[in-house]
Amino acid sequence: MQKQLFSVCLFILISFGLQAKDGYNIKVKFQDVTDSLVYLCHYFGKNQTVFKDDSVVLNKKGEGIFQSDQKIVGGIYMLLLSDRSAPMEILLRNGDQFSVDVKKSDVYNTAKFSGQSENEAFYEYQRFLVNYGSEYQKIEAKLANCKTKTDSNTIYKQLKVKGKELSDYRAAVIKKNPGGFMAALFNAVDEPEIPEELPMKADGTRDSSYPRVFYKSHYWDKYNFQDDRLIYSPIYERKLDNYLTRLVIPVPDSVQEESDKLLKKAEGTTETFKYTLWYLTRWTETSKIMGMDQAFVYLVENYYMKGKATWVDSAQLEKYIKRAKDIAPNMIGQPAMDLKMLDTSATKQINLSSVQADYTILIFWSPDCGHCKKEIPQFDSLYKAALKKYNVKIYAVDADLETDKWKAFIREKNLGEGWIHVHDPNRQSNFRAFYDVYSTPTLYLLDDKKVIRGKRIDHNNVLGLIEWLEKKKKDKK
């Protein structure tokens, strides 16, 4: 009896050891490729780039083995030939051991898998998608020939029925193996199904904003932020980008609030938290939306400076902190730093704070800057045509101290009425640091109290911004 018990325990221990083994063992055989280098790569958040993990040279039979005992995150990986032809996606989980037999000339139809993986089901799905996509496009193409709304609605109904086939397929996979990686992938790409009937508002009318509100509030319902494997797929960045550009109100406060929510969902993970913070930092820092740099500063102050970006080295951290410090003094809503500059004669000091105007356009420009040569005269034309009536003054700073060229350009373009031309020949104002001037022209819009109301604008949008600010004043009154 004791011997039997010992045997059972030994079997359990051996089985557990096999199941708990880290890394991977992938035997590949290409039927139509030999003596070629093959890479094992993984995605990271997006599909434009893959990262190499391993490589093997196929023998004369087209065979090779990828093997590692190092723990991996797992995700959607790729077998990539050295000539980058016929990339082959595979699902890979930590501990997977399987074989694949395939033809480079027809990957999806010839791939055969054996062993421990979800790849057989993954390729069944790929083949389903090829047929499904072809059938969907045929139906969609009929829209071009529709002549009435009734005809269009008929086609849209057919597309909806067709779309349900894809949903049903994914639902069946999830039901069959709810803990599998394919289930996690299908849940990750799931789109909220918006109720067709709009709810009633208190005034008895239908709430037309409901579809957007519902879609946004349920957008992340099935995405598992705690599953780092999803970062090793081309799904997450696309979802993030869609969410931030289409569903989040494009103002700093909203972006900051949504950033906190997303990072809270990813809290406790390694890859998902890292990627989310990196993406949000890049998105806010490079955004073309005016004032979004406020959200960048917020992320630096609340995550990087508080030690939550543990993977960032000291040099990169210092870059983030310096960039945030450069931006912080000149964010929208901040009082503009005063400048003490000299006029064209270099004898009279004109402080920015002394300018009497309802709006002050602060421009840093250079007579050697090609864009400035176009933009500055356009501002003059705009001033005469539309800005003058709003009691606007233009405080124009020579950023590069090309004094003779600067004066000549002012005379040539007759930049007189409404313009205050100043420079800093003694380099005492520190304007580049105060206003983050790293290129020209750089423009700010200040109100009557010299509070920054707009930044990095041009002649195309400054009038619209002033009109919007004027409307806000009237609405407030």
Q: Which range is least confidently modeled, 8-12, 57-61, 144-148, 440-444? A: 8-12
Per-residue pLDDT of 38-90, as tens digits, reads 999 999 988 778 899 999 999 999 999 999 999 999 999 999 998 888 789 99
Q: What is the pLDDT of residues 266-316, one digit of tens each?
A: 999 999 999 999 999 999 999 989 999 999 999 999 999 999 999 999 999
Confidence grade of residue 20 (pLDDT, cut at 50, 70, 90):
low
The residue with tokens 């496009």 is 137
Helix ranges (H only) for 20-118 are 107-110
Residue 26, SS3 per DSSP:
strand
DSSP characters for 393-413?
Answer: EEEEEESS--HHHHHHHHHHT
SS3 83: coil
What are 342-386's pLDDT values in tens digits? Answer: 999 999 999 999 999 999 999 999 999 999 999 999 999 999 999
Tell me what the mean pLDDT of segment 116-121 comes to.
92
Angstrom distance (rounded) from CA 81 to CA 88: 9
DSSP 300: I
Which residue type occupies 204? Answer: G
Instruction: Look up residue 277 and give its two tokens.
Output: 């913070």
Asked if pLDDT for residue 338 goes beyond 90, the answer is yes
Q: CB neighbours (10 Å) of residue 181?
A: 23
pTM of the model: 0.84
Architecture label for domain 21-117: Sandwich (2.60)
Joined together, the tokens standing for residue 242 give 């869609």
Q: Distance (Å, rounded) from C-alpha 441 to C-alpha 221? A: 45
Is residue 257 packed enough to be buried (19+ CB in 10 Å), middle (13-18) or exposed (0-12)? middle
Report the DSSP pairing between strands 88-92 and 340-342: unpaired
Are 197 and 211 spatial neighbours (Cβ–Cβ below 8 Å)?
A: no
Q: pLDDT at position 84, please?
A: 84
DSSP label at residue 336:
P
Class of domain 340-476: alpha beta
Sheet containing strand 452-455, strands side by side: 419-422, 392-398, 359-365, 442-446, 452-455
